[in-house]
Amino acid sequence: MLGSVRRLRRLFIGGALVTVTGLLPLQTFAGHTSASAEDATYDACGVVTTKSDGSPWACSFVDDFNGTTLDTTKWIVQETQKTGFRTDQTCYTASDKNVRVGDGLLTLTARDEGAKFNCQNAFGDFWTRYTGGMIGTKGKFGQAFGRFEVRAKLPSTRVSGIHGGFWMLPVVRRYGAWPLSGEIDVAEWWSVDPSLVMPSLHYMIRDSKADSGWNCRITDLEAFHTYTLDWQATGLTFSIDGSVCFTRLPSSDGTLVAPAPFDQPFGMILNMAVGKLSGVNKVTAATPFPADYLVDYVKAWR
C-alpha cells in the first residue's frame, strides 16, 4: 500500500458507485491500481481498483460476515448427512460448533468429538470421531473469469492432521465428472507444512509440479493473510498479500483446448477438515483440536 489513510469507509447506495474525496489509500495489486489517494470510488467490495487494461473491476460478490448468522442467500452449508460429501475422516455438519458467524468473522472448525459416531452418508455411512465445517456458493453464485479473494487466518498448529482452505468447483460439470471439468484450489493448506498455502489446478492431464504453486508460502502463521486469484482466459495468477506466487495456463490435452476446462462458471468453497488416518498429514492423538479457520471476508469481481 502506498500513501496513508485517515479513515476507510465503504459506501454502496442503491447499487451505485459512490465517490469519496479525502485522504484515501493508493493500492496496487498484480498490476492493478486503485483510484488516486485524494479521490477514490467505492462499490460494495470497497475501493474500486482497475485492471491492467485500465478498466475498473466490478464487484460481483461480497460477504464481510458482519451479521450473527450465515447469509443463506449467498451460501449453503455442507452437511455430509444430506449430500454424502466427505473429506477423509471429516463428517461435515451444520452445527454452530462447526460453522458460525459473529464478531465480523466466519469461523469454520474441525473438532474431535471424543468418541466415534456413525456419520450418516448417502453413499455409505462411516464411523469417525471428527467433524468439520464447510460452506459454498453452489446454487447461489458462480462466475467464469475475474478476481476472487479471501482474507483469512488458518490454524497456527504445526502438527499433522488438519486440512482446509479456499477452493472452487464448476457450477455445471460441462466436461464430465471430476477432474474432467476442473477444480481450482486458491489456497489449500495442510497443518503438517503450515507455511505452505498452495494454489493448484486439477484437470485431466494435471502435472503435480507444473500445476501447483509450491512457492506460495506465508511467514507469519499467527496472522490474517489475503489470498487472491486473478483468472483470465490467458492464465490464472495467484497471490498472497498482493505478491504473485504462481501463474499457470493449463495445458491442452488434445480433447480440450486451453483455457478449458477453466472457461466456465465456478463456485467458491471454504472448509476446515481433518486428514486421513495414515499418510503425511494423518490425524493423530497429538493433533490439536478444535482447529479454527477464521475468515474476514470473501469477495469476487468481474
Examine the domain organization and report whether 118 and 27 are in the same domain: no
For residue 288, say if its preceding peptide bond is cis, omega within 30 degrees of 0: no
Q: How far is Cα 136 from Cα 248, in angstroms, rounded to an integer?
A: 24
* pLDDT 10s digits, 202-260: 999 999 999 999 999 999 999 999 999 999 999 999 999 999 999 999 888 778 999 99
Q: How many CA atoms lie within 13 A of 46 on its CB side?
A: 16
Q: What pLDDT score was predicted for residue 263?
A: 97
11 and 102 in one domain?
no
Nearest to 85 by CA among 10, 169, 201: 169
- Residue that has been written with the C-alpha cell 507469519 in this structure: 220
pLDDT at 35 over 60: no
198 — pLDDT class (breaks 50, 70, 90):
very high
Is 37 a residue whose pLDDT tops 50? no
Residue 81 and residue 50 share a domain: no
DSSP E strands in the chain: the ranges are 18-21, 28-29, 32-33, 39-43, 46-47, 59-63, 76-77, 90-92, 99-102, 105-119, 126-136, 146-153, 162-170, 183-190, 197-202, 225-232, 235-240, 243-248, 266-274, 291-301
Number of domains within the chain: 2
Same domain, 220 and 80: yes
Residue 122, pLDDT score: 83
Domain that holds residue 41: 1-57
| Percent with pLDDT over 90 in the chain | 83
Say if residue 19 is in the same domain as residue 168. no
pLDDT of 95: 98
Nearest Cα residue to 297 out of 116, 91, 46: 46
pLDDT at 107: 98
- pLDDT category at 33 given cuts 50, 70, 90 is low
- The whole-number pLDDT of residue 38 equals 56
Q: What is the mean pLDDT of residues 265-282?
A: 97
* pLDDT given for residue 54 in this prediction: 92
DSSP one-letter string for 189-218:
EETTSTTBEEEEEESTT--TTTTB-TT-B-
41 and 101 share a domain? no
Whether residue 69 is contained in a domain is answered as: no
Identify whether residues 8 and 116 lie together within a single domain: no
C-alpha cell at 283: 490425524
pLDDT at 255: 84
Is the predicted pLDDT of residue 128 greater than 60, yes or no? yes
- Does residue 140 share a domain with residue 36? no
Q: Mean pLDDT for the chain? A: 89
What the block records as the C-alpha cell of 11 is: 459506501
The pLDDT value recorded for residue 23 is 36
Indicate whether 139 and 226 sit together in one domain.
yes
Q: What is the CATH number of the domain that holds 174?
A: 2.60.120.200
268 within 8 A of 126, measured Cβ to Cβ: no
Taking each continuous run of H as one helix and of E as one strand, the counts in the chain are 1, 20
